[in-house]
Amino acid sequence: MKSKKFIAAIAAIGLLALSAPAQYTVQYISHSAYGNSTAGAITEFTATPGAAFRLVAVNYGSDSSSAVLNLYTGSTAYTITATNAATSSVTNLINSTNGLSAGATLLLEHAGAFYTQTVSSWNSSTNFVAVSTNGAASGGTNVVLNSGGWGVATSIGDPVYLLTSPVALPIGTGTNWLNGEALFVGNRGRPVLVQLTPATTSNTLWSVTGRYE
């Protein structure tokens, strides 16, 4: 006959199993990006609430001895609070200007696509003017981007992220793989941007793979 202590131990193990939290389902994502003369080959892994993105593999092709793989993640998050009627969206009303600095890179997520641009200036005035005479949002809490702006009209609620300084991995000329358990780990709940420079049409990210966890 089994002892009472043995039966109690089995019951305790069962209770622990029932109370253990469900395991997060690992999700692998792969993207490709082709070079261009403006920003190079560049791809984004969008922000996922509560999850961090871990980069595990990059298959690249480069004919530039100076080629570098730049890895960014988001830090401070902002929200577009008013639509800018100008399609370039150079001036953007946002909920906060904390953390902004001239030359910093911002990333906009809009309608399933991403756009990057650098900061020219910002304004935290309490004098709110939603739309100026030229159709551009102004006044209030806004950020002014450098020439060209986002290149797209924003929508209220679009997320904007301040990007960190890049982690730069020199890769040089050739077609090769980078593999590892954690080539780069993004901030939790923030996007990750992978860019191959210099900006030429021949530099390509054949496959960039990572996982949310």
CATH label of the domain that carries residue 58: 2.60.120.340
Over the range 45-80, which residues count as b (16 or more CB within 10 Å of their CB) and which as e? bbbbeebbbbbbebbbbbebeebbbbbbbbebbbeb
pTM of the predicted model as reported, rounded to 2 decimal places: 0.82
Q: Is residue 60 part of a domain?
A: yes
Query: Which range of residues forms the domain containing residue 85?
Result: 81-157
d(CA 31, CA 206): 8
Q: Are residues 206 and 187 in the same domain?
A: yes
100 in any annotated domain: yes
15 within some domain: no
Q: Read off the pLDDT band of 130 (50, 70, 90).
A: low
Confidence of residue 87 (pLDDT cuts 50, 70, 90): confident
Is residue 6 domain-resident? no
Q: What percent of the chain has pLDDT over 90?
A: 73
Residues 178 and 134 reside in one and the same domain: no
Would you state the pLDDT for residue 138? 57
Give domain status of residue 153, yes or no. Answer: yes
Query: Which of residues 122, 138, 157 is at a domain's end?
Result: 157
Q: pLDDT digits over 4-63, tens only?
A: 554 444 444 444 444 444 445 667 999 999 999 988 999 999 999 999 999 999 999 999
pLDDT in the model for residue 9: 45
Does residue 16 fall inside a structural domain? no
How far is residue 87's CA from residue 148's CA, in Å, rounded to a whole number?
Answer: 10
* Site of tokens 């890049």: 166
Is the residue at 29 inside a domain? Answer: yes
Question: How many domains does the chain contain in total?
Answer: 2
